[in-house]
Chains A and B, each alone.
Chain A
Amino acid sequence: MYGVFSGPVGGFAPREHLCVGCLRCTTQYPEFVRILPNPARSSLGDSYFTPDRVDTVCYEARSGKVPVKGAGYRGPFGGSGWDGLWTDMSEIVRPTRDGIHGREFISTVIDIGAKPWRVTIADEQPSRRPPQLLSIPIPVLFDAPPAALLTDTVVRTLATAAEATETLVVLPVESLGKSAPRGRHIVPLITGAHLAALQQLGFEPAMLELAGWDQQLFAQVQAQFPRSIVCLRMDLPSTDALLRAWASGVRVFHLLANYHGRGSDGRFAIDLFREAHKALVAERCRDEGTILGGGGIIAAEHVPKAIICGCDGVSLDTPLLVALQAQFAGEAVRRETSSFKLPSRFTVDWGVMRITNLMASWRDQLLEVMGAMGLREVRRMRGEMGRAMFQTDLEREAFSEIAGYVS
């Protein structure tokens, strides 16, 4: 039916790549046909970016489509991390299906920057630099790949894909040499050691990112790029440092877990994003700034889940590499220590197409989730924890009276 046995010599040389694993042949002819899981597949990815996830990202990057399949869900019940969270749906509220198919508008635009409630005037001058704000049409940014992968082709691919999808790409400033691409969509990642490279940047980015907190560098960058947003990159957990940086004037944060979604204390990004979000809510300033979350976001559903947990937008790391058919060399846990093998030769056009497809697919899947929730704007999804269902909470409620249940 799928052409596996339709080659010139039929079953003697099955065309294995066409097999969809329906098991009809082996059901009919148990004595002749065995369908075995492909051992090469099980070596894809790593313990976090599982072969199933790799398959899905590759399909999305190839087709640009939403993966649609028959039969029900086939995986584990829930799980740690993102799998322990379900998003809400509404039985009666629009937009939903109409919005998913474009007949009603569902906005996936997010704003990045500072949104002060008011401008305070002192000595007839505004007390702060004017607020900088930019909007991107999808709540997804591209994060810098490991340093070893920053070849000219990779840099161009990421930069061109970011431009094509009207988002931003974080790239170390030292990788933005003379022949590197230019444009507002490129976010130079800077440390004090690379100030010279920053002087020679040759363009005005919409946003710059400090690799860590440095009061002096922050002031310098603000002075040099008065019309650009300055974002602070921080490893999770970061609540105390975040509040200190807030007090020093930072309004955009890029909070990062490792590639497996864990903070340095071992907790998962769900808790860490929620903690950071709630800290700003408690300070009554959440709406005045932006939280971008990254690390461990490797599937389309992780985007709305991270936003529900308090991020305004998310940054992608390993999925971009998987979209470019990178192979994992061992466990990829931290950017600094992970290694990948990209295809030996690929063109920028091919890479851009793959990443653009991935973004198209993920945006459409975001619409599915928002449609089901009855939300018209992704901005309204941020921190909507009441529209999420956490496995631990639901199980406590459902099973706590059952003998043997331990929360």
Chain B
Amino acid sequence: MSAKPESIEQIIAQKHIECLHRGFHVWPALEYGKPPAMGDSRWTADLILSTWMQAETGQPPSNGLEYRTGQSGGGFDVLHLKFLPPEHWLADDAAIDLSIPLNRRDYDRQIRIPVPFYGAGMSYGSISENVMLARAMAARKWDTFTCTGEGGYPESLVSYKDHVITQIATGMFGVREETIQCAPIIEFKYAQGAKPGLGGHLLGDKATTTVAQMRESVPWVSLFSPFPFHSVYSVEDHKKHIDWVKTINPAALVSVKVSTPTDIDMVTVGSYYAGAHIVQIDGSYGGTGAAPEIAKKNIAMPTELAIPRVHRYLVAEGIRDELVVMASGGLRTAHDIAKVIALGADGAILGTAELVALGCTRCSNCERGRGCPFGLTTTDPELQRLVEPEWGAARLSNLYQSFQSELRTILRQLGLQNIRDLRGRKDLLLYRGDVKAS
């Protein structure tokens, strides 16, 4: 329960918060049916509502909401897991290990996360500080990670630093030596799935004084991160970047976030030889605070198609077991996570699913005026209040719990004790091309 409101603004805000929380509770219960204008083919109303429910209860819904797949007519939505007949399932109490290492080389720091996912980069400015805090709190509770995105490292995150990945992107916004020094993992963002090859984009309305201060830019002026890194002309130059951060923080692991061009296999191999521990393959259907619509659909391939290519190439190169491949870009459910691992990833990175857990309706208005009307992708001080960090952390934690329990069930029904044994097991998938997009 939050502190007693004092001002009239706080009373009004509190009223709104209560009503919103009630809405997040009653809609998934289907008391009023499903909101008729909610959802799209990727994130159906069922998926949004079931994510709300999981964020509240920590369990998948049991009231008929389809919480496993969407209706996009392709990718994850036509892939199904090939479960064993029930008599071959592992026992309910079988020990199932969902942990994955984030460094597969036999040198440098060893980090292991107990669930095969962590939070995607979302910048200060694209989301509110409260949302960043909620994500960091949940990451700490689950001993996993969240990522700053490109926009600086608010002071309030420092106490969660062991669970915060610092991102260095092409605009270098908010990149400081001390934040690199305190990060267990440093992420170089070469490209982002939702706007591949186009750099970041923060619209002027969201570049408030505090955001601009953090980014060392001019308030209320749109910020376009350049593309690409102006210090990189070849894959070899990437090694220079890694050497640079390793000089500042020798203990950090290095992650490389790339989009999905035709030569994604080569890019991954190049990143490995440059010294990266993790490569994040960010498919084209991922989330964003703002991106040209033309880029979201048309440039670069979806992660479902990129991961098998990367996996096969790394296997052929004989380096698959030395690199951690994390998939992102449109993963919505525990089933998506299991499928992408079966396609060849080690684990998954979640962005939009977390925002949906916090109340996102996928309305696409993040970039408009004051930003998100639910207080998520906004820098407006009034709207930010709608997400209290503790409430947000509890919702995310519940979602993680539900994903954890669902992943355990999936493994049990596949007869596997270890999520790492699922990697690259395409034989455990079934393609159902007759499922059409809605």
Chain A interface residues toward B at CB < 8 A: 1-2, 20-24, 26-31, 34-37, 56, 66-79, 83, 85-94, 96-98, 100-101, 300-301, 305, 365, 368-369, 371-374, 386-387, 389, 391, 394-395, 397-399, 401-406
Q: Could you pull out 21 A-B pairs where Cβ atoms are within 8 angstroms?
A: A1-B369, A2-B369, A27-B374, A28-B16, A30-B27, A67-B292, A71-B366, A72-B296, A73-B284, A74-B364, A77-B285, A87-B300, A89-B259, A91-B191, A91-B261, A97-B198, A365-B292, A372-B198, A389-B305, A394-B305, A406-B433
CA gap between A406 and B434 in the complex, in Å: 10
CB distance from B36 to the nearest CB of A (A): 5
Chain B interface residues toward A at CB < 8 A: 16, 19-20, 22-24, 26-27, 31-32, 35-38, 40-43, 72-75, 77-79, 82, 170, 190-191, 194, 196-199, 201, 203, 224-229, 232-235, 237, 258-262, 267, 284-302, 304-305, 307-309, 329-330, 343, 352, 359-370, 372-374, 377, 383, 426-427, 429-433, 437
| CB <8 Å contact, A70 and B365 | yes
CA gap between A213 and B341 in the complex, in Å: 56
Point out the residue from A28, A37, A87 that lies within 8 Å of B23, measured CB to CB.
A28
CA gap between A68 and B200 in the complex, in Å: 12
Interface contacts beyond A23-B38, A76-B437, A87-B299: sample of 4 additional A-B pairs, CB < 8 Å, sorted by A? A36-B36, A66-B292, A77-B41, A387-B262
| CB <8 Å contact, B367 and A371 | no
Using Cβ atoms and an 8 Å threshold, which residues of chain B touch A73?
A: 42, 194, 284-285, 296-297, 330
- Given A36-B36, A77-B437, A369-B298, decide whether A90 and B291 contact each other with a Cβ distance below 8 A: no
Point out the residue from B24, B224, B261 that lies within 8 Å of A89, measured CB to CB.
B261
- Given A30-B26, A72-B330, A77-B75, decide whether A22 and B373 contact each other with a Cβ distance below 8 A: yes
Using Cβ atoms and an 8 Å threshold, which residues of chain A touch B286?
A: 72
CA gap between A263 and B308 in the complex, in Å: 34
| CB <8 Å contact, B198 and A35 | no
CB distance from A121 to the nearest CB of B (A): 45
Using Cβ atoms and an 8 Å threshold, which residues of chain A touch B170?
A: 97
Using Cβ atoms and an 8 Å threshold, which residues of chain B touch A96?
A: 197-199, 226-228
Point out the residue from B42, B43, B199, B300 that lies within 8 Å of A86, measured CB to CB.
B300
Q: Of residues B227, B297, B364, which shows the largest number of chain A Cβ atoms within 10 Å of its Cβ?
A: B227
CB distance from A69 to the nearest CB of B (A): 4
CA gap between A91 and B301 in the complex, in Å: 13
**A404 (CB) vs chain B CBs: closest residue:** B431
- Given A70-B364, A71-B287, A79-B437, decide whether A403 and B429 contact each other with a Cβ distance below 8 A: yes
**B370 (CB) vs chain A CBs: closest residue:** A1
| CB <8 Å contact, B367 and A70 | yes
Using Cβ atoms and an 8 Å threshold, which residues of chain A touch B225?
A: 97
- Given A67-B292, A70-B288, A72-B285, decide whether A20 and B432 contact each other with a Cβ distance below 8 A: no
Which 4 pairs, one residue from A and one from B, show the smallest C-beta to C-beta distance? Answer: A70-B366, A77-B74, A372-B197, A76-B437
| CB <8 Å contact, B23 and A91 | no
- Given A23-B38, A28-B16, A90-B197, decide whether A389 and B224 contact each other with a Cβ distance below 8 A: no
CB distance from B103 to the nearest CB of A (A): 23
CA gap between A37 and B365 in the complex, in Å: 16
- Overall SS of chain B's interface: loop
| CB <8 Å contact, B298 and A92 | no
CA gap between A24 and B286 in the complex, in Å: 23
| CB <8 Å contact, B190 and A92 | yes
| CB <8 Å contact, A74 and B437 | no
**A89 (CB) vs chain B CBs: closest residue:** B197
CB distance from A261 to the nearest CB of B (A): 16
CB distance from B342 to the nearest CB of A (A): 9
| CB <8 Å contact, A76 and B226 | no
- Given A74-B41, A365-B292, decide whether A93 and B228 contact each other with a Cβ distance below 8 A: yes
CA gap between A26 and B34 in the complex, in Å: 11
| CB <8 Å contact, B228 and A20 | no
CB distance from A174 to the nearest CB of B (A): 38
Using Cβ atoms and an 8 Å threshold, which residues of chain A touch B429?
A: 402-403
| CB <8 Å contact, B19 and A28 | yes
Point out the residue from B19, B287, B426 that lies within 8 Å of A401, measured CB to CB.
B426
CB distance from A297 to the nearest CB of B (A): 14
| CB <8 Å contact, B40 and A20 | no
CA gap between A83 and B294 in the complex, in Å: 11
| CB <8 Å contact, B300 and A368 | no
**B259 (CB) vs chain A CBs: closest residue:** A89
Using Cβ atoms and an 8 Å threshold, which residues of chain B touch A405?
A: 431, 433
CA gap between A70 and B9 in the complex, in Å: 28
**B437 (CB) vs chain A CBs: closest residue:** A76
Using Cβ atoms and an 8 Å threshold, which residues of chain B touch A35?
A: 35-37
**A38 (CB) vs chain B CBs: closest residue:** B37
CA gap between A389 and B36 in the complex, in Å: 35
CA gap between A406 and B432 in the complex, in Å: 9
**A101 (CB) vs chain B CBs: closest residue:** B224
CA gap between A380 and B46 in the complex, in Å: 45
CB distance from A253 to the nearest CB of B (A): 26
- Given A76-B74, A371-B197, decide whether A398 and B292 contact each other with a Cβ distance below 8 A: no
Using Cβ atoms and an 8 Å threshold, which residues of chain A touch B427?
A: 401-403
- Given A22-B365, A96-B227, A373-B197, decide whether A1 and B373 contact each other with a Cβ distance below 8 A: yes
Using Cβ atoms and an 8 Å threshold, which residues of chain B touch A93?
A: 228
CA gap between A67 and B298 in the complex, in Å: 14
Using Cβ atoms and an 8 Å threshold, which residues of chain B touch A372?
A: 196-198, 295, 299-300
Using Cβ atoms and an 8 Å threshold, which residues of chain A touch B432?
A: 404
Using Cβ atoms and an 8 Å threshold, which residues of chain A touch B437?
A: 75-77, 79
- Given A86-B300, A90-B261, decide whether A27 and B20 contact each other with a Cβ distance below 8 A: yes
Using Cβ atoms and an 8 Å threshold, which residues of chain B touch A78?
A: 73-74
Using Cβ atoms and an 8 Å threshold, which residues of chain A touch B368?
A: 20, 70
Using Cβ atoms and an 8 Å threshold, which residues of chain A touch B19?
A: 28-29
Using Cβ atoms and an 8 Å threshold, which residues of chain B touch A79?
A: 73, 437
CA gap between A71 and B372 in the complex, in Å: 10
CB distance from A120 to the nearest CB of B (A): 40
| CB <8 Å contact, A88 and B287 | no
**A25 (CB) vs chain B CBs: closest residue:** B373
CA gap between A371 and B368 in the complex, in Å: 25
CB distance from A232 to the nearest CB of B (A): 31
Q: Of residues B19, B24, B258, B293, which shows the largest number of chain A Cβ atoms within 10 Å of its Cβ?
A: B293
Using Cβ atoms and an 8 Å threshold, which residues of chain A touch B260?
A: 89
CB distance from B364 to the nearest CB of A (A): 4
| CB <8 Å contact, A22 and B363 | yes
Using Cβ atoms and an 8 Å threshold, which residues of chain A touch B232?
A: 92
| CB <8 Å contact, A88 and B364 | no
| CB <8 Å contact, A76 and B73 | yes
CB distance from B438 to the nearest CB of A (A): 8
CB distance from B188 to the nearest CB of A (A): 11
**B432 (CB) vs chain A CBs: closest residue:** A404
CA gap between A85 and B37 in the complex, in Å: 29
CA gap between A30 and B52 in the complex, in Å: 15
| CB <8 Å contact, B343 and A88 | no
| CB <8 Å contact, A374 and B27 | no
Q: Of residues A23, A36, A56, which shows the largest number of chain B Cβ atoms within 10 Å of its Cβ?
A: A23
| CB <8 Å contact, B298 and A386 | no
**A29 (CB) vs chain B CBs: closest residue:** B19
| CB <8 Å contact, A386 and B262 | yes
Using Cβ atoms and an 8 Å threshold, which residues of chain A touch B307?
A: 398
CA gap between A403 and B427 in the complex, in Å: 7
| CB <8 Å contact, B294 and A71 | no
CA gap between A66 and B195 in the complex, in Å: 13
Using Cβ atoms and an 8 Å threshold, which residues of chain B touch A91?
A: 190-191, 197, 228, 258-259, 261, 267
CA gap between A139 and B194 in the complex, in Å: 26
CA gap between A403 and B284 in the complex, in Å: 25
